Amino acid sequence: MTRAAPLLVLAAWTALALLGPWLPLEPNRVDLPRVLAGPGAQGWLGFDELGRPLLDRLVAGARTSCVVSLSVVALSLALGTLIGASSAWIGGFLDHAVVRIVDVFLAFPGILLAIALAGILGPGIDNVVIALAAVGWVGFARLSRAQVLSVKEREHVRAAIALGAGFGRILRLHLLPVIAAPLIVEATFAIAGVIIAEAGLSFLGLGVQPPEASWGTIIREGTRYMLVAPHLVLAPALVIAAVVLSVNLLGDRLRDWVTCEPGSGSRRPQARRVATSSNSLDSAASRRAIRSSPLPGRGGKSATSKPLERSEPASRSGLSSRSSAMPFAGSR
C-alpha cells in the first residue's frame, strides 16, 4: 500500500458519509427479480436477499460508522481528558479513587461492557454511542493523567500558578497544548476500535435496526446466504478492513512524528522544533513570572527565594507501544 492510499481511503469514507444523503442512492429499494444477484452492470457489488443494491447500502453504512466513531471518540476524549487531568492536578483521595475506577473498568473486556450497556439501553444509534463512550473514556483518562503528572511541574505551569491563574485557565492554556499530541494519536487508534465495536454490536442486533444500513447488519444478513451469495459478506468485510487498516496506518505515522521513532524521516527536524519551542515557552513564561513578582526591597532580589527547577519532559510512555485508548479496541 502506497503512502497516499490510507489518506485516499479515509477521504473517500468521509466524503461518502457526508455526501451520502445527497447522492442518487436507493439503499432501501426492494427489487425481487434481483434477489441475491451477483456483481454486474446493474449492481457493481450485487444485490442482497431483498434485491437491494449492496453498494448503496455500503455507502449508507459508511455514514453510520462515521457518525458513531467520531461521536464516541469525541465524547470519550473530552470526558476522559477532563477526569484524568483533574485527578492528576488535585491528587489525594480523588486521584486514588479515579485510578481505582479506571482499574475496575480495565479489568473487564470493554466489548462485553458495551454489549451489556447496549442490551440495557436497547438498540439504536444513540444508545450505541452512549454504551461505547461509557467504556471508552477510561483509556483517555489514564493517558491524560500520566501526561499531566509529568507536565504540571514544568516551569511555565509553575509560573502560571505564581501569577494566580486558576485550574481552568492552566488546563486550557498550559496543559492541553502540551499533552494534546499523544491524545490525538490515541484518538486515531480509538476510531478504528469504535468502527469494529459498532459493527460488532450491529451484528448482534444491538446497533442500528433495519431498514437502516450498517456494515455489521449487512454482514449479519449475509451470513445466511454465505454459500450462494458470498459477496454479501465479503464486500462489507473488505470495506471494514480497508477503513480500519487506513486509520491504523495514519495513527502509526502520527505516532512516529510525535515520538521521533526511526522511520519518521523528514519529520524528525519538525518534532525537534516543536520540542525546542516548548522549552522556549517554559523559559519565557518563567522569566515573565519572575519579572512580575514584587521585590522585597532595594536589594533587587525577587520574592521567590528558591529557583525554579527544570522538570523532565512529558512522558511518551503511552505511545511507546500500540495500546489503544479504547478498551474494546484490542491490539494489533
For residues 284 and 308, what is the distance between their CA atoms, to the nearest angstrom?
13
pLDDT tens for the chain, 332 residues long, are: 477 888 899 999 999 999 888 888 888 888 888 888 888 888 888 888 888 999 999 999 999 999 999 999 999 999 999 999 999 998 889 999 999 999 999 888 888 888 998 889 888 889 999 999 999 999 999 999 999 998 888 888 888 888 888 888 888 888 888 888 889 989 999 999 999 999 999 999 888 888 888 999 999 999 999 888 899 999 999 999 999 999 999 888 888 887 754 444 444 444 444 444 445 545 555 554 445 444 444 444 444 444 444 444 444 444 444 444 555 554 44
pLDDT at 30: 86
> What type of residue sits at position 332?
R
CB 75 within 8 A of CB 54: no
pLDDT at 57: 92
pLDDT at 267: 43
pLDDT at 161: 85
For residues 241 and 6, what is the distance between their CA atoms, to the nearest angstrom?
12
pLDDT at 313: 43
For residues 131 and 236, what is the distance between their CA atoms, to the nearest angstrom?
23
pTM for the model stands at 0.77
For residues 22 and 20, what is the distance between their CA atoms, to the nearest angstrom?
5
Torsion of CA 262, 266, 271, 274, to 10 degrees: 170
Q: Which three cell numbers stand for residue 49?
A: 436477499
For residues 102 and 121, what is the distance between their CA atoms, to the nearest angstrom?
22
pLDDT at 283: 52
Q: Which of 293, 298, 303, 66 is nearest to 192 (CA)?
A: 66
Query: Structural domains in the chain?
Result: 65-289+313-319 (1.10.3720.10)
DSSP 255-308: HHHHHT-TT-TTHHHHHHHHHHHHHHHHHHHHHHHHHHSPP-STT---S--SPP
> 53 by DSSP, 3-state: which?
strand
pLDDT at 282: 52
pLDDT at 35: 86
- Other beta carbons within 10 angstroms of residue 127's beta carbon come to 18
Where helices occur in 91-175 by DSSP H, the ranges are 92-106, 110-121, 125-151, 155-162, 167-170
Output the CA torsion sign for 121, 126, 132, 136.
negative
Q: Which parts of the chain are beta strand (E)?
A: none
pLDDT at 274: 42
For residues 127 and 114, what is the distance between their CA atoms, to the nearest angstrom?
10
